[in-house]
Structure 1
Amino acid sequence: MSTNGISLRVKSIDTIRGLIMVIMALDHVRDYFHITAFSADPLDPSTTTPALFFTRWITHFCAPSFMLLSGISAYLSSQNKTTAETSSFLLKRGLWLIIVELTFMTFAFSFDVTFKTIFLAVLWALGTSMLVLGLFVRFFTPKAILISGLMLIFGHNLFDLVKATPGSGLDLFLGIFLKGAGMFVPRGDGGTIAFLYVILPWAGVMMSGYGLGVIYNRTFPEQKRRKLLLQSGLAAIVLFIVLRLVNVYGDQAPWTAQTESIRTFFSFMNASKYPPSLIFTLMTLGPVLILLALTENTNTKLTRFFTVYGKVPFFYFMLHFYLIHVLTMIAVLSSGYTWEQATAPELFFKFRPTDFGYNLGMVYAIWISIVLALYYPCKWFGDYRERNKKWWLSYL
């Protein structure tokens, strides 16, 4: 297969990654600007609205998609490295992402100079998954890594049956590595560490992506790859529906019949993200695999637009979070809140009072404005990185 074919395949990955990162910004804008973001669950089938449910539900695709694509990208990158070099890069990048989460991202979340709460979220999950993948790469083949990743995805819900004494060592281990749905662990200095993403289920998704990367080898037939992606995506969707209908295994929160059929549907689709259940993973990654197949040779204005963001995910992620929080601060203070109210000690996120916010229409307007405002900075940085092959740019 030609070098041009390789370029198109990488571009399709960047396109899907850019799409999910644009969608991701919607959830973060909703967190900071929607009136009920801190007072109501947008996925509660008994109280939500169709528009609000969809706004939150569509963003479920972001984290698992990014994990899968990061695994595929790690495999593609490994083709130009030795096994030791690939492992070393993954370990160093994983540690770097964890450091960024502890510092720059925790501050981006909270704007709290005291770091009263340290948030371990997406970058923590990415970083720890890269550490796990980096270790596996050193000792196992891509096929073995794929099998191990699938075992984690399909089997980790078995640990839902394990009941640990609250506060025990086993409870802490399970909460951090396997079944935590948001664990707040006290620090010795009076602060708190918030483990929002568990390690091993997310690592399983990244490892599966790494193993899947072999179908992007130069010698792998394009038609066979697209067929395999389509079949795998459809199989994941069918299995999601079957397991969800059976309602026995694969998710910590079984769906229940509601007073209205639309609300029963909401309950059915409300798979658990914290931690990512088997059903959640099948629901989100099935469509992504199909999109990878359908966009491989697509080159339109829309795909080029998304690719701009997908080529610089770390740069975009950091920039958009700080921009959202700065705009929130401006909006809150200009709305009549005092500095004391906006930075009250009980607020996890400074400059985000619980009773502040706008309707959903305004949230969408702010989201679109932020995404468009970041287009040219992302395009500039992407072009700069392509022109300057410096080692440190691979970490941004």
Structure 2
Amino acid sequence: MPANAATKQRIQSIDILRGIIMLIMALDHVREYFHISAITSDPTNLATTTPLLFFTRWVTHYCAPTFVFLSGLSAYLAGTRRTKSELSGFLIKRGLWLIFVELAVISLALTLDPLYHGFALQVIWAIGVSMVLLGLLVRLPLRLIGALGILIIVGHNLLDNISLAPNSPGDVLMKLFLTSRGALVFLDKTHIVFILYAVLPWAGVMFLGYAFGSIYQLKFTPPKRKTMLTYCSTLMFIAFVVLRLINVYGDQSPWAVNNSNVYTVMSFLNVSKYPPSLDYCLLTLSAALIILALTEEATGKLAAFFKVYGSVPFFYYVCHFYLIRTLSIVVFFLQGYNTSQIITPNVPFLFVPPGFGFSIGGVYLLWLAIILALYYPCKWFSKYKQTHAQWWLSYL
């Protein structure tokens, strides 16, 4: 079988893993808009959170790095059907498209503000910019791209404590590319940019994923690939445990012993996502690799269920945000709020006044309803993509 023919087939372990994280991701977004204390408290603040709320947020930490890593891996697979020049052009164009989607489509879904007073630079932005950077680098040797990814992941925490003059061009660029923990940049008095995902640490994750794509070549048998993934996963997890125990380098938030064993474990696991620390990447990507290994030949209804969502991640991502926000409007009026309460002062999100939403149990029920509601639309679009070859489908 020609190599190109093989790589056109979807790899089920990738779709299963991507499907799992897409569903978990929706839990976090439902919590953000429907949990009664979402706007007023941080679920990872050990002084105010509960174990259930903490782990509801913590488990979703696995989503973004896995999503970015798999985007890099998929970029490698896309390159097996293209020349380096074609792959470079495709990645740059798709990256620019994703940046546009983040600013125009996702920001609108987040805020429901048609005047765009706020723009949020989140995971789609990070993937888009990372794709542009990868598109510029694909002509380099694969090992060099992988080494660059490792260097960024391991080394960027050295810059955590660098501070520049607040709001200076250098400060904004530093936050945009390396250090932002949720920085606000004012475009004018009424328009802001929320820099949640600093670009380069996420680009490092994508570069690493691109390098890992090489193990899906035909010369790697499933047993050999499973062994390699398991070995790498184990090394990464051991490195996470060692670094976290040492508690000197690898994360902006050191852990501490608490009065409760549960809260001590929570502190140990409470690694930093913004920007993604070395410890955070080791913990989350080690899990991603072992799931890829274990689902290489998975069968059954559950695997098929996850594959439906994982085969159309972009479609699902956009749809789930707009479904969540449509339901937030419905719940807003059902809970007795009126039009004068649509806007909350100093909050960029419309239709989420103080006290809005449900308990954590209600969040879980609504999350299940949302992901099940999107099952058949995703299944339809997945089948459509498999049976059609229009050029624009590669951008969705």
Does the aligned pair in 1 maintain the 2:344–2:352 contact within 8 Å? Answer: no
Deviation digits for residues 177-197 of structure 1 (CA, Å, limit 9, x no counterpart) = 111101111113631111110
2:309 maps to which residue?
309
Distance 1:235 1:260 in 2: 29
Deviation digits for residues 26-59 of structure 1 (CA, Å, limit 9, x no counterpart) = 0000001111111111111222211111110000
Distance 2:31 2:190 in 1: 30
Other structure's SS at 1:250 match = coil
Distance 2:388 2:224 in 1: 35
TM-score normalised per structure 2: 0.97
Does the aligned pair in 2 maintain the 1:8–1:296 contact within 8 Å? Answer: no
Distance 2:206 2:257 in 1: 34
For 2:103, the aligned partner's letter is L
Does the aligned pair in 2 maintain the 1:142–1:211 contact within 8 Å? Answer: yes
1:347 maps to which residue?
347
1:241 maps to which residue?
241
> Percent identical across equivalent pairs?
48
Distance 1:162 1:187 in 2: 24
Distance 2:187 2:161 in 1: 29
Distance 2:20 2:60 in 1: 11
User: 1:17-96, aligned counterparts within 5 Å?
Assistant: 17-96=18-97
For 2:269, the aligned partner's letter is M
1:106 corresponds to 2:122: no
TM-score normalised per structure 1: 0.97
Other structure's SS at 2:11 match = helix
Deviation at 1:8, TM superposition (A): 7.9
2:275 maps to which residue?
275
Distance 1:150 1:319 in 2: 33
1:155 corresponds to 2:155: yes
For 2:58, the aligned partner's letter is W
Distance 1:207 1:369 in 2: 35
Distance 2:184 2:252 in 1: 19
User: 1:103-142, aligned counterparts within 5 Å?
Assistant: 103-137=104-138, 139-142=139-142
Distance 2:97 2:8 in 1: 28
User: 1:186-205, aligned counterparts within 5 Å?
Assistant: 186-188=186-188, 190-205=190-205
Does the aligned pair in 2 maintain the 1:46–1:263 contact within 8 Å? Answer: no
1:213 corresponds to 2:198: no
Does the aligned pair in 1 maintain the 2:121–2:194 contact within 8 Å? Answer: yes
For 1:371, the aligned partner's letter is I
Does the aligned pair in 1 maintain the 2:7–2:80 contact within 8 Å? Answer: no
2:380 maps to which residue?
380
Distance 1:163 1:42 in 2: 27
For 2:123, the aligned partner's letter is V
Does the aligned pair in 2 maintain the 1:149–1:207 contact within 8 Å? Answer: yes
Other structure's SS at 2:184 match = strand
Other structure's SS at 1:69 match = helix
Deviation digits for residues 74-111 of structure 1 (CA, Å, limit 9, x no counterpart) = 10110000000001000000000000111111100000
Other structure's SS at 1:193 match = strand
Distance 2:192 2:162 in 1: 25
Does the aligned pair in 1 maintain the 2:18–2:66 contact within 8 Å? Answer: yes
Q: Residues 190 and 39 from structure 1, CA distance in 2 versus in 1: closer, same or farther, beyond 3 angstroms?
A: closer
Other structure's SS at 2:179 match = coil
Does the aligned pair in 1 maintain the 2:7–2:81 contact within 8 Å? Answer: no
Distance 1:238 1:354 in 2: 43
Q: CA RMSD in A?
A: 1.6
Deviation digits for residues 126-173 of structure 1 (CA, Å, limit 9, x no counterpart) = 101101111111x30211110100100001001114232222233212
Structure 1: stretches of 5+ with no match in the other structure: none
Larger displacement relative to structure 2 (200-209 or 253-262): 253-262
Structure 2: stretches of 5+ with no match in the other structure: none
| Alignment: residue pair count | 395
Deviation digits for residues 304-361 of structure 1 (CA, Å, limit 9, x no counterpart) = 1000000100100000000001101100111111111023453311011122111111
1:360 maps to which residue?
360
Other structure's SS at 2:160 match = helix
Deviation at 1:377, TM superposition (A): 0.2
For 2:230, the aligned partner's letter is L
For 2:89, the aligned partner's letter is S
